[in-house]
Structure formats: structure tokens, C-alpha cells
Amino acid sequence: MRFDLVTLFPEFFDSPLSSGLIAKALAKNIATVHRTNPRDFTRDRHRKVDDEPYGGGAGMVIKPEPVFAALDSLPVFPRRQVIYLSPQGEPMTQDLFKALISDCDQVVLLCGHYEGVDERVMTAVTREVSLGDFVLTCGEIPALALLNGVIRLLPGTVGKVESLSADSFEDGLLDYPHYTRPPEFNGLAVPEVLRSGNHQAIAQWRRDQQLQRTRRRRPDLYEKWQAAQSQLSSDKP
């Protein structure tokens, strides 16, 4: 799978792309990541990529010319998404990551800055995605989150595939608590059921913990999960 990062700060990704599982995935060609700087397509001696907004107002806006030139320089795969990272986009979710894997061979991530990009750039964008209901200094941070989340799901990145199926959000619930050795630390003991060897009891405990944790921490997710379960029940013959 190919990723193209259109960014004014390509060096932002140096460390994340050379660390951990993502670095190993890139080394194994599970995915490829390419960086393109719109500043390289400017024609003035100051390499200017932004200008004042029409109509006045604070801040600067990224000009359309260097962005379009950067996008036009990229190869175009048949199954391609051009994603603009913006607080105004749809929420970034696990389902989005899985959809990109199944539907795309190429993902172009356009990282915004300042007050954003000239609105005419949006004619080249196929999807707008937000990391959350807050504003950051740059689009590189949400782009990195999306990049990491998608590459992590590609076959071969994570050693044990079954660990992915137990992740939070995979079945609409948060993950259950995890414990490892020692069995007791600072007066806190690992739940006895996890040391019992009774796999059926362990599975039930974990499911109960998922339900309790989701209901307590994310009632919105819990209500959504309940609705989905009700729909499944009503669909059964």
C-alpha cells in the first residue's frame, strides 16, 4: 500500500517512520511512504506557500498553486483517496482505517497549516478527516495517527494477528484489562480468574470487563453496541 504525505514539514515524520513496528513494516515493503513538499513547487525566490485571506481576517491561507502542483506530481493509482486532515472532517475511527485498507491501494494525506488551504484545493480532495473536536498547529499530527493506524492493520505488521481482533473498537467495545507478571505488585494482585487456567471463565471475565468498562467510560459506544445487538437479535429468524 502506498502513502503520499503532502507536507510543508517532511522532516516531522523522520523519527516516527524509523521507529518500532512502522519502521519494520516499511523495511518489509508492507507499505511505502513518500513525502512531497509543496514548497518545492513554488516559483518565487522566497518559496512562498501562503498568503493573506480574501475578505480580511487573522492568519494566513495556503495558496492553491503549490498544493495542486504537488498533487499533480504524484502517481495516480486506480484505487486512491486524497485525504485532507482538518478539524472539519469526519472523525477518525477504526472503521475508517479498515475501509481504507479494503478500498485503497494509495492514500494521499494532505497536511494543512495556518488557517488551512485555499478552498479550491478541496476540489482535489476525496475525503476530509479529523482527529477530534479540537484544533492543532498542523495536519502532520493527525496524518501520522492515520498512517500509523492503517499500517498497523496491514498483514505482516503485527506478529500475532489474533491480537488485532481483541483491540478496542473491533467489536464496538473497549478493550478488557491486561495483566502480566509478577502476580502481585504494591499490594495489587492479578485477578484470580486469570491465573485459574479455566479458559471459559477467563473469556467470560474479559467480556464482562469490556462491557463494564465501555458502559462506564464511553456510554455513547455502549448504547451504540446495545442497539447493534438488538438489531442482530431482531434479524434472526
Provide the residue-wise pLDDT of the chain in tens; the chain has 237 residues: 999 999 999 999 999 999 999 999 999 999 999 999 999 999 888 899 999 999 999 899 999 999 999 999 999 999 999 999 999 999 999 999 999 999 999 999 999 998 999 999 999 999 999 999 999 999 999 999 999 999 999 999 997 666 676 566 778 899 999 999 999 999 999 999 999 999 999 999 999 999 999 999 999 999 999 999 998 888 877
Taking alpha carbons only, the member of 22, 9, 37 closest to residue 145 is 22
Task: Quickly count: other Cβ atoms within 10 Å of residue 40's Cβ.
Answer: 13
Residue written as grid cell 434479524 = 235
Short-list 75, 63, 109, CA closest to 89? 109
Tell me the whole-structure pTM to 2 decimals.
0.89
Q: Catalogue all structural domains in the chain, each as residue range(s) with its CATH number.
A: 2-153 (3.40.1280.10), 168-235 (1.10.1270.20)
Q: Which three cell numbers stand for residue 137?
A: 498547529
Catalytic residues: 87, 115, 152, 167
* 38 and 8 Cβ atoms separated by less than 8 Å: yes
